[in-house]
Structure 1
Amino acid sequence: MSKRFEEIDWRPTPMGDISLRRRRDPVTGREVYEVKLGDEFLMSSLFTAGETELARLGLAALPKDAAGPDAAGPAVAELDVAVGGLGLGYTARAVLEDPRVRSLVVVDALPDVIRWHEEKLVPLGGTLVSDGRCRLVRGDFFERAAGTEGLDPRRPGGRLHAILLDVDHSPRHVLHPGHAPFYEEAGLRALSEHLHPGGVFALWSDDPPDEDFTAVLARVFATAEAHVVRFDNPYRPGEESANTVYVAGKGAGT
């Protein structure tokens, strides 16, 4: 049996102290991994439905011919995807479970989070680092999204079929003030330039659907929708919790 509580790693970062913890949850009896930044919880392996649905809903919104005119059905691996924010890796794993995915680049600003996966200190680390389609890249997602080089440093200027983002708590509750401009119209237009025509941008949020933000998405993309993801709350039997996943599609001719 594992220890009731263990701090696996702790490091100072420009955004605050980050820590990886493992504990035996007394309510569920499960071994739980948690990531904290300062006093805020960033991620828990008890609550992963929203992160998984971010990938599922984002990739499901791609048109059948998103991989290009030579795509011959859903099993053809021709999709290039980027994820902003590695966390415990649940969004990345869900992306890799889609057989259409040819490549995945996961951009994270914190080298220690990447190291946790490379050293297999977290449960999904071995799965991600052993998949030849997946690369974990240290970088500032928001700086790359605003620039012209793109999100994949190996493909400067290259476009992607889907970009999935899970860094901030929500468009209004950001981890760093420098992230806020991304969620405005100009920031989202810059991001859209990194998508192929017909590509998809999807975003996880811990807040309920925000009509004002959905309207900003609709001004930039051809389609925009907010999905409510409901899941059982293990601490409140019989009750549900919810996240929001925004899905925006780029026009086929843009």
Structure 2
Amino acid sequence: MITRFEELDWQETPIGELTLRRRTEPAVGQEIYEVKLGDEYLMSSLFTVAEEELSNLGLAAVDGDDLSVLVGGLGLGYTAVAALRDERVSSLTVVDRLGAVIGWHQRLLLPVSAELVEDPRTSLVEDDFFALVRTAPSEDHRGYSAILLDVDHSPRHQLDPTHADLYTAAGLRALDRHLAAGGVFALWSDDPPDDEFMVEMHAVFDGAAAHVVDFSNAVTGGTSSNTVYVARSRGGLEATTGAAPRSTS
């Protein structure tokens, strides 16, 4: 039996005090892992449906096999592990700015850590994803089949104001240089679909769509929603869409 709250790790980071804790959640009667940045809750293992759908919807839109996937933001690891469960994925690179988060998984502190780090397809890289995609890729880079991003709360609510340029047409064009022909960009957001951001997406990508992913909220007893944006790099076929979540374009 564990205490109601158990702090597994605390570290000072460039963006604030980062805490990983485990607690019991009476509403569901199970252990929950949570990440806080200062006094702000970043993520919880109680709600992982949309994080997994980021991978599922993004990779469903990619044609072919031997997929190379880049994930921006490691967090609790659910997006990355969902990508690994697609047998077409041959390599998975996960970039996180915070070495502390990578260390959690290397120390096997989280429920999916072993599945993630023990898979030979996985590479965990400590780097700034946003700085990385601003930089032109090397000439011999083949391009990623998919880039899956889950760092900020939404295109309008960033953890760091320096991220804001990515959510403009210019920033998305810079990211697009890292995709293979017909590759897919997918983005998680905590906000409802954003019409102004969709204008930026349509300016750069083909088949851009905003999928509303609903999931049961055991704490409130109701339904909560996140958004997953999916779009295909120009030059490829239009992005395919999943049937289960509601879609708004």
The alignment's TM-score, normalised by the length of structure 2, stands at 0.92
Label 1:243 to 1:253 Cα distance change in 2 as closer, same or farther (>3 A). Answer: closer
Q: 1:80-229 counterparts in 2 under 5 A?
A: 80-149=68-137, 157-229=141-213
Question: What does residue 45 of structure 2 align with?
Answer: 45
**Aligned-pair distance for 1:173?**
0.3
**Aligned-pair distance for 1:156?**
6.7
Question: What does residue 25 of structure 1 align with?
Answer: 25
Question: What does residue 229 of structure 2 align with?
Answer: 246
- Secondary structure of the 1:235 match is coil
Identity across the alignment (%): 57
**Aligned-pair distance for 1:96?**
0.3
**Aligned-pair distance for 1:2?**
2.1
Q: CA RMSD in A?
A: 1.5
Which one of the candidate residues 55, 62, 79 is aligned to 2:67? 79
- Secondary structure of the 1:225 match is strand
Question: What does residue 58 of structure 1 align with?
Answer: 58
- Kindly provide the amino acid, as one letter, of the partner of residue 246 in structure 1: Y
Partners of 1:85 and 1:39 in 2: CA distance: 20
Pick which of 106-115 and 19-28 moved more. Answer: 19-28
**Aligned-pair distance for 1:99?**
0.5
Q: Which runs of 5+ in 2 are unaligned?
A: 238-249
Q: 2:96–2:129: 8 Å Cα contact kept in structure 1?
A: yes
Partners of 1:165 and 1:195 in 2: CA distance: 13
Structure number having the greater strand percentage:
2
Q: Which runs of 4+ in 1 moved over 6 A?
A: none
Question: What does residue 73 of structure 1 align with?
Answer: none
Which one of the candidate residues 211, 215, 219 is aligned to 1:235? 219
**Aligned-pair distance for 1:253?**
5.6
Question: What does residue 74 of structure 1 align with?
Answer: none
Q: Which runs of 5+ in 1 are unaligned?
A: 68-77
Question: What does residue 7 of structure 1 align with?
Answer: 7
Q: 2:208–2:229: 8 Å Cα contact kept in structure 1?
A: yes
Instruction: Tell me the alpha carbon deviations over residues 127-170 of structure 1, each in whole angstroms, 9 at most, x when there is no partner.
Output: 111000011100000000110137xxxx9734100000000000
- Kindly provide the amino acid, as one letter, of the partner of residue 112 in structure 1: A
Alignment: residue pair count: 237
Q: 1:148–1:157: 8 Å Cα contact kept in structure 2?
A: no
Partners of 2:198 and 2:91 in 1: CA distance: 28
- Secondary structure of the 1:222 match is strand
